[in-house]
Structure 1
Amino acid sequence: MIGTLMALTADSGLQDIGLWMARPALLIYLIVQWPRQGYLARGLQLVALTLATSVAAFHSDPLPILLDAWDRFCFFATFVSALGLLRVSAMRSRLIRDAGQVLIRQRPTWRYPTLSLGSALFGMIVNIGVLNLFGAMVQRSNSLRAAGGVKAIQSIRERRMMMAMLRGFSLAPLVSPLGITLAVILSTMPQLTWSTIAPVAFPTAGLVFFLGWALDWLLRPRHLTAPTASRPASGPLYRFILLALGITVLVFVVSLGLDVRLPVAVLIACPLSAVGWMAVQRRRLGGGTGVVRAVTLLGRHSRLIFGASRNEIAVLGGSAFLGGLLIPLVDQAWLGDLLIATGLHGAPAAVTAMLVVLLLAQVGLNPIVSVTLIAGLFADTHVIGLEPQVLAVALMSAWSLAMISSPFTAAMMVLAQLTGRSPYTLAWRWDGLFFLLLLPLISGWLFVVDAFY
């Protein structure tokens, strides 16, 4: 992490030192974590190793390509680790639990919007941990007694709340400036910035949110009623909103103050926020600022903290590494001519890219891989008659849609474990209608956006 930050922010003299700190350190990390990685992580790394060997054997000048691809791997490993530090602080925070209770114990009319928007907001900070946190709260609060002893009410409540959480979490790729999705898009399409994507991404997220809310309202059970639980005070939720806003503002302040791109600012602001947040928690133990205790805790448990991100680092970094190897080998002009010859030009090309990501997600290929490759191959979107914002939002939308429709995503696996149901049931039965309505809606929206630009 330190080496990558030096390479991205230091003067030219220190950049090479930073790169050669990061490159071997990441290799050692991957070797050490290999026995505990999942099948997807291992498989992706084996594919990357095979392709790297082929490039080294058959390319006339392979070293610059290999080093550039490995530096991409280092960047995303650092990005995931920075967010992981923030997640550690969040999961130790009482404020998170109290604010989550406020969201869970809402009246049925407002339960969907509060849970959905709350999952999106918490997801910016806690990432996938928000589903574990809220899911456990839902299971505890949705007891048979709370449902008035009616099993059907308990089952319907579980379904509505779990889907509200999942749909809200799926908004994160479209709205979060701290997310992995935005980092992938901005690193592979450097002509874009968050400010140029947000005017298109935010209305897209609005379509997802309002369709989900409308569907939840229209399909609500009208013949069953349950006792109304008392709502807790909203203070913890407001304090968390201020905290999340503060972290987000710090990211933009770092970006503007140091004149660095937003993903680089995340690498700096998130660890600082994590240490500050944990210091506040440690300060309660008595005396001092808590900073020393926070740093000591992170150092003592660093093996577990960074080890917990092994699969995310391998999959996200490995995808970036593959993209870094493939992009220089592809003739962009030839690819553009081929696509134009097939009739995929403008908005149809954006919709097709979205569908490709979605179809691959249904057979288990994580959107991290497909989005990285597509965004990298079409860094110059004008060859297919598209403004970069349109392709970027199409890929971000595909990532969101994959979260609610693919049985193989991490989000679906978490909810399946919490509910004791098959991920196929959650993805294709519980959320199938929402997906079937949302897909043509977003496709049509992409045509509107393309015409506007």
Structure 2
Amino acid sequence: MVSLRLLRRLADFAMPLCMTGTLLDLVAGVPFAPWVARPALLVYLVLQARHLSGMARAVLTVACTGAVLTALFQPDPWPLLLEGLDRFCFFATFMASLSLLRVAAMRSRLIREAGYSLIHQKPSMRYPALSLGTTLFGIILNIGALSLFGAMIQKGNTLRSAGGDETLRTARERRMILAMLRGFAITPLTSPLGIAVVVLLSNMPQLTWPMLLPIALPIAALMMLLGWWLDWWQGPRPAPGASARARPSLRPLGRFSLVVVGITLTAFLFSGLGHIGLPIAVLIACPLCAFVWLAVQRRRLNGGSGTGRAWALVVRRASTIFAANRSEIVMLGGSAFIGVLITPLVDIELLNAWLSSSGLHGLGLAVTAMLLTLLLGQCGLNPVISVTLITALLPDPQALGLVPEVLAVALMSAWTLSMMSSPFTTVLLMVSAFCRRSPYFVAWRWNGLYYALCLPLVIGVLALGQRFLG
């Protein structure tokens, strides 16, 4: 009985062991560290396999099948398999780091205060407040930002608050839901801590996050302004006296912005001082900042430094904390693993020659990669998988007359557009559950015009980027 309990506790710490081994390997180059991370990851996958979502289970099945086929048919399979496992460990560590940050954020009173102040702004300012707020919260909370804002919208948008007017309540719900969805969707274009940036920078090491900003930020800003204009154009006029009510201060949002900036600067500080890439710096900064944030919260409760109580909380809740993102861990890490196994099977020179002869080069290649990602998203393939495979298999973009930054931002834009249009994504499924409507209805009836206007806008900015950076 004691041994069984001990095994369960060890299983709870499989992911922390994987994180520790991965960081020791990446940062310090400790020789035995990968042999801590790899077995720990495998234990974690075995324990979590039956709890995965359908898409994650399919990715894990393909990864396992690919590993078996590689072991059977490759002349020297072990270096390839170990490289794939190391990539899996890297992305698993990244997602687990975000889980720790989310735990600290969801326990913070500041988060609740900032969210409340955003929800209760006057109608003319509610869209930019909600949209920018969800983008900001999404940097720290990831998908948890939708849970937080969705619950607040449900609680705040009652028939009583609309003066008994069901039409007004429904219109206000639609506007707030779309502001939340669109704001969260542009996170891949704006967040240095996001999954999209880590995937792209890991597969395109010649790039850095600041190199992407001259193209990514204008796209994000134009999408934000377009959404705000559509909200004004499509929305009903406010009821008399609605704007006269006192609105909560946005100071909590300002304080939360400082937290986000602090975490981001910590990642850049580690990157600069340690001469390491931003993705690796994020793996260090996120858990450290999460622990400090938890410690400050626990210190406020009972005095003292709070570190002991923060540590006790993480140890006690380890099984819950590190299981929360299991499907995302498998989809992200499994896609990277599959990409490593597939890459040697592709003749890059032959693919390069075919792309050149087909006319798919320059801006056309970037737009095609973006549209392919969007199409696969409509068929149920998560952008994590399609973007990982595209970046792993494509030849050097510069050899095909394409600026690498343009390709990267095109894929980031596809990630953004997929989140707000594919009825299979977790984002749309969560949003449709909050408003009790079909994801197809939200994606194409509510958001279809915005999506249609965004596509040419994105292509236009990519064209300018190709022209001025090429």
TM-score by structure 2 length?
0.94
Partner of residue 66, structure 1: 81
Shift of 1:399: 0.1
The count of aligned residue pairs is 450
Shift of 1:302: 0.2
Partner of residue 11, structure 2: none
1:4 aligns with 2:22: yes
Which of 56, 59, 83 is the matching residue for 2:71?
56
Tell me the secondary structure at the aligned position of residue 163 of structure 2: coil
Partner of residue 78, structure 1: 93
Matched AA of 2:25: A
Which of 287, 290, 297 is the matching residue for 1:274?
290
Spell out the pairing of 1:223-238 with structure 2 (5 A cutoff).
227-228=242-243, 229-238=245-254
Shift of 1:379: 5.5
Aligned equivalents of 1:286, 1:444: Cα separation in 2:
55
Matched AA of 2:165: V
Aligned equivalents of 1:7, 1:378: Cα separation in 2:
28
Unpaired segments ≥5 residues, structure 1: none
TM-score by structure 1 length?
0.97
Partner of residue 108, structure 1: 123
RMSD, aligned α-carbons: 1.2
For residues 313-336 of structure 1, give each alpha carbon's deviation from its aligned partner in whole angstroms, at most 9, with x where no partner exists.
111111111111112221111111
Matched AA of 1:33: Q
Which of 101, 114, 139 is the matching residue for 1:124?
139
**Mean CA deviation greater in 372-381 or 356-365:** 372-381
Which of 181, 192, 207 is the matching residue for 1:192?
207
Aligned equivalents of 1:335, 1:226: Cα separation in 2:
64
Which of 13, 16, 36 is the matching residue for 2:51?
36
Partner of residue 302, structure 1: 318
Contact persistence 1:175–1:201 (CA under 8 A): yes
Contact persistence 1:174–1:393 (CA under 8 A): yes
Which of 307, 313, 325 is the matching residue for 2:329?
313
Distance 1:104 1:223, change over 3 A: closer
Shift of 1:227: 3.0
Tell me the secondary structure at the aligned position of residue 364 of structure 1: coil
Partner of residue 292, structure 1: 308
Spell out the pairing of 1:150-161 with structure 2 (5 A cutoff).
150-161=165-176
Partner of residue 209, structure 1: 224
Tell me the secondary structure at the aligned position of residue 407 of structure 1: coil
Contact persistence 2:59–2:334 (CA under 8 A): yes
1:430 aligns with 2:455: no
Partner of residue 6, structure 2: none
Matched AA of 1:315: M
For residues 96-135 of structure 1, give each alpha carbon's deviation from its aligned partner in whole angstroms, at most 9, with x where no partner exists.
0000011111111111111111110000000011111011
Partner of residue 93, structure 1: 108
Partner of residue 12, structure 2: none
Contact persistence 2:361–2:400 (CA under 8 A): yes
- Dislocated runs of 4+, deviation >6 Å: none
Aligned equivalents of 1:426, 1:372: Cα separation in 2:
27
Partner of residue 269, structure 2: 253
Which of 377, 402, 415 is the matching residue for 2:418?
402
Which of 354, 370, 373 is the matching residue for 1:338?
354
Aligned equivalents of 2:145, 2:238: Cα separation in 1:
32
Contact persistence 1:105–1:230 (CA under 8 A): no
For residues 325-351 of structure 1, give each alpha carbon's deviation from its aligned partner in whole angstroms, at most 9, with x where no partner exists.
112221111111111121111101100
Q: Percent identity?
A: 54
Matched AA of 2:366: A
**Mean CA deviation greater in 116-125 or 206-215:** 206-215
1:134 aligns with 2:149: yes
Partner of residue 22, structure 1: 37
Shift of 1:204: 1.4
Partner of residue 401, structure 2: 385
Aligned equivalents of 1:234, 1:431: Cα separation in 2:
28
Aligned equivalents of 2:372, 2:250: Cα separation in 1:
42
Shift of 1:142: 0.8
